[in-house]
A and B are shown apart, each in its own frame.
Chain A
Amino acid sequence: MLLKIAGSIIVILSCSFLGFILSADCKKRPQQLRELQSQLQMFENQISYLSDVITDAFDRIGKIGGSETSVFFSETVTALRERKARSASEAWENAVRNNIKRTSLNREDEEILVSFGKILGSTDLDGQIKNIRLTLSQLKLQENKAEESRAKNENMYRSLGILGGIAVVIVLL
């Protein structure tokens, strides 16, 4: 009897925990998209007003840190400095592909970021700025979508976790 109660509590707790993790993930995605936008904005300012080269600009953005998305920038810089990549776009693509799993961003966001990298460092300043603007507007769209799905899913995942745990316990009891 005691064993049954202990097992039930463990099952309910772990299911609720799973629900809370999923709902936290829902909350993180719009936040990270916002951070990414402010980082790209920063990048635009640095190349247009400070005329920084890409490594310096990315280095500064990566050092400000404080978020999961800044690792894209710092890893691109490392790859470029250590001559692991042949071009900025290749370094950026590798950095995005390797680290996307650690963030809450999904496939669509990944594709947007990679297509941002395709033009990175291959046109003049005007082209770069236009590319950044385009990526910013796409990220804005993604953020709106993510915000919508967050409002829809955040509470649902949480209660679904708890109720699912209770359901499993009742069926097994």
Chain B
Amino acid sequence: MGVDLIFKIAAIGILVAVLNQLLIRSGREEQAMMTTLAGLIVVLLIVVQQIATLFETVKAIFHLD
């Protein structure tokens, strides 16, 4: 699970970078911006579960609940 997730996010990053370049080259700066933003949101959606787990763990370690 852990390493797979990193690879997935890395792949999305590369793809978004290429798409960004492609769209800027063909003179569509706005769409390039949108693509970058979409990539960011997708990655955040993937990662948000993990972040929640992290917070749970931190809370459990320090007995904050």
By a beta-carbon cutoff of 8 Å, the part of chain A in contact with chain B is: 152-153, 155-156, 159-160, 163, 166-167, 170-171, 173
Contact = CB atoms under 8 A, between A and B. Distances in A.
A98 B27 CA distance: 34
B11 A170 contact: yes
Contacts of B19: 160, 163, 167
Interface in B1-60: 8, 11-12, 15-16, 18-19, 22-23, 25-28, 42
Interface residues of B, number: 14
Interface of B: 8, 11-12, 15-16, 18-19, 22-23, 25-28, 42
Contact of A167 (B15, B23, B25, B27): B15
Given A163-B15, A167-B15, A156 B8 contact: no
Contacts of B23: 156, 160
